[in-house]
Structure 1
Amino acid sequence: MSAATRLRTAAAVALTTLLTVGAAALLTGCDPENGPTPLPTGAAPAPETTRAPAASPSGTPSGTPAVNGTAGTRLTISNGTDHVLMNGTSVDFGIVVRDLAWSPDGRKAAFISGSGDLVTANPDGSGRVVVARNPGGETWSHPTWQVASAHPDNGLPAKDNIFFAAAKGGVSRLKGIAATGTGGTPHVLSLGTESGENSPALPQTGNTWPSGGGDYGTAAYANSDTGEVFIRDEYLRQQGSALTRGSQPALSPAGDDLVFVRSVDGHDHIFEGGAGERPVRDLTPTATTDYTEPAWSPDGRTLALRAPDGIWTMPADGSAAPVRVSSYTGLPAYRG
């Protein structure tokens, strides 16, 4: 069974479940540009608001309460500084954190450092490991975890890898490396083709924004040249295919659903679906701002979105409009 077929079948079941949850499932819960100054170092946990920094690149006036919105949730916000907002406070990682992504169990963070290296760390910023050192001349971005259990019946070992995009000379490719290594050398990710005769070759360059999910090692990614979202599967054998037009894909934690960004009437909207014959669906049809960089909550019920004025959340089934939970801008991500 191909990844697209599994995604289509499982998503139908997941969507039915989500529709029974409705708006009650709403939880409050980054390579950001022009993001705000993080909370002061050592700031105590706060319920929903914290004192705003003296000067905020996001334009928050001095003395104006800045909504944090991460307290009591698994939501985190990183903005390319050494601080990450989580659980209502600011955590100092002691190093620049770009494009933060959490392992499925929430025990490890992966990010790109200020030196351009791929780094992992504990949730409090300790235990940092340079998994891969940037050779220079490359720009690495948007790491994602590929974590899958072993499937002895099919002779498949467990997987614990990190994928990311690597651009050099204006050409972007996907790379991968074992998450447990130290100072390793990433390899260019094989992309393969969909099964069947006369299958078209998949683009090997222009690929970016990988997103992993599920127990089969599946990942989605975008191609900036074609403007499409692709699926990559290596369960029984490596294969892939284009799914739909869009960018910034996010595969659900169970690997059974997909959201992505698509421009509509001058604004960026969040769409769901696109696998197999299932049509795509606009989750933000009345958007009057740009919603980008979607992230799934660990239970698959909530999406966090980035907008110019902060972070918003909404039910993943589209049963309610987005609600702003933070006035801090940055890349939203959820700890598992």
Structure 2
Amino acid sequence: MSARARLRRSAAVALVSAITAGSALLLTACDPSAQATAPKPGSAAPAGTTGSPSAPGSATPSASASSSGTPSAPASAPATPSSPASAPADRPTATPTEAALNLTKGTGLTISNGTRYVVMDGRTVDFGTVVRDLAWSPDGKHAAFIDGAGNLQTSNPDGSHKVLIAKAPTGVTWSHPTWQVTTPDQFDKGRTNLIFTADDHGTLRLLRLPAQAGATPDVISLNPYSDENPKLPPTTGNRWPSSTGAHGRIVYANKDDGQVYLRDDYLRQNGGPVTKGSQPAADDEGDLVFVRSVDGHSHIFASHLNQANPDVQDLTPGAVVDFTEPVISHDGRTVAFRGPDGIYTAPTRGGKPQKVSDTVGLPAFRS
């Protein structure tokens, strides 16, 4: 990681600590201590294979739902299993069992799979409630997730000190929160927000609210990219937000036009399309990963936001299974993503994917 990135990350860490200290969040740094066994894995396949025939047939993947019940990708990405919104929050939705493969220890990688058990640091942590779409603050001290009732919560990394941030209205499905933490300067007083997708009876919008109890979400404004390109980005159909950097820029996908969009949230609050794809994630240096369909299967691609004509690289070439839900490690070197039989990682610049867990779920990097 460059010195510039380290400075921005240190500033973000300091900001989270300053904003949350003594506030209603009551969140403190805490390493996971629960020793529950791992969630029930999916069917295993030989490790490190991108050409395994274990994909669910050769049909085009469905675009019906994300891990929290919200549409998550165009036809290039398969549906993500979900737990019923009515599942009780005080008991597990699946019986945990010892996973045959769990190489997350020391990697910062976590996996949430719609149960109360989160894979973390080579073991699992019982959060005591259903955890969907788990996301981490830049300092790794705060978790945000959608609970079993479909509401937005935060907690410590061990699931303690839960705070109900906001309740989803009846008939509206929330999904895929991301932390937006900005560094104070002459233009920005500094913010700690949560951004997420709201599916209001089939209409998708991006919402944002402060990461504190009782906050009210607002629809994010989306303005033209520039005076030279005054076309307004789509205001509906937007999902899968990912915020990164000291100034809180956002990448997200639009299900209707199949484009990944960038929103500059620093000065002009503008944005525009950057590439074809879905389920984007970015890091502080501008590396972008996303999902794109190749020969009827979902592949993981990498590009760069800060290049005028960025190269696009397939990180899973030749794959005949579906790989989805990519995320970049904080040092920018590793991409983790979901396969049909577990979680895989690959170098951001390209290399053979390696299977690191039998647990099928949403990957995220805490550190």
TM-score (norm. length: structure 2): 0.73
Q: Which residue of 1 aligns with 2:115?
A: 81
Going from structure 1 to structure 2, the CA distance change for 1:120 and 1:129 (only over 3 Å counts) comes to: same
Going from structure 1 to structure 2, the CA distance change for 1:65 and 1:174 (only over 3 Å counts) comes to: closer
**Which ranges of 4 or more aligned residues in structure 1 deviate by more than 4 Å?**
60-65
Going from structure 1 to structure 2, the CA distance change for 1:59 and 1:82 (only over 3 Å counts) comes to: same
What are structure 2's unaligned runs of at least 5 residues?
A: 6-33, 46-95
Using the TM superposition, give the Cα deviation of residue 285 of structure 1 relative to its aligned residue in structure 2, in angstroms: 1.7
Going from structure 1 to structure 2, the CA distance change for 1:60 and 1:256 (only over 3 Å counts) comes to: closer
Say yes or no: does 1:216 pair with 2:209. Answer: no
Structure 2 CA distance, aligned partners of 1:148 and 1:240? 18
Q: Which residue of 2 aligns with 1:294?
A: 326
Using the TM superposition, give the Cα deviation of residue 114 of structure 1 relative to its aligned residue in structure 2, in angstroms: 0.7
Q: Which residue of 2 aligns with 1:242?
A: 273
Say yes or no: does 1:43 pair with 2:41. Answer: no
Q: Which residue of 2 aligns with 1:21?
A: none
Amino acid at match of 1:268: S
Alignment of 1:1-336 (within 5 A): 42-43=35-36, 56=40, 58-59=42-43, 66-152=100-186, 155-179=187-211, 181-197=212-228, 199-252=230-283, 254-273=284-303, 275=305, 276-318=308-350, 320-336=351-367
Structure 1 CA distance, aligned partners of 2:99 and 2:140? 29
Structure 2 CA distance, aligned partners of 1:92 and 1:311? 20
Whether the aligned pair in 2 keeps the contact of 1:218 and 1:232 (CA below 8 Å) is yes
Going from structure 1 to structure 2, the CA distance change for 1:285 and 1:218 (only over 3 Å counts) comes to: same
Using the TM superposition, give the Cα deviation of residue 243 of structure 1 relative to its aligned residue in structure 2, in angstroms: 0.7
Q: Which residue of 1 aligns with 2:85?
A: none
Using the TM superposition, give the Cα deviation of residue 255 of structure 1 relative to its aligned residue in structure 2, in angstroms: 4.6
Residue by residue over 1:110-148, the C-alpha shift from the partner in whole angstroms, topping out at 9 and shown as x without a partner, is: 000111111000000001011111121100000001111
Amino acid at match of 2:204: S
Whether the aligned pair in 2 keeps the contact of 1:133 and 1:184 (CA below 8 Å) is no
Identity %: 52
Amino acid at match of 1:77: I
Using the TM superposition, give the Cα deviation of residue 279 of structure 1 relative to its aligned residue in structure 2, in angstroms: 3.2
Structure 1 CA distance, aligned partners of 2:97 and 2:166? 41
Using the TM superposition, give the Cα deviation of residue 71 of structure 1 relative to its aligned residue in structure 2, in angstroms: 1.6
Whether the aligned pair in 2 keeps the contact of 1:100 and 1:110 (CA below 8 Å) is yes
Structural RMSD (CA): 2.4
SS at match of 2:125: strand
Q: Which residue of 2 aligns with 1:47?
A: none
TM-score (norm. length: structure 1): 0.80
Amino acid at match of 1:199: P
What are structure 1's unaligned runs of at least 5 residues?
A: 1-9, 15-40, 45-49
Amino acid at match of 2:298: D
Using the TM superposition, give the Cα deviation of residue 60 of structure 1 relative to its aligned residue in structure 2, in angstroms: 6.0
Using the TM superposition, give the Cα deviation of residue 63 of structure 1 relative to its aligned residue in structure 2, in angstroms: 9.2
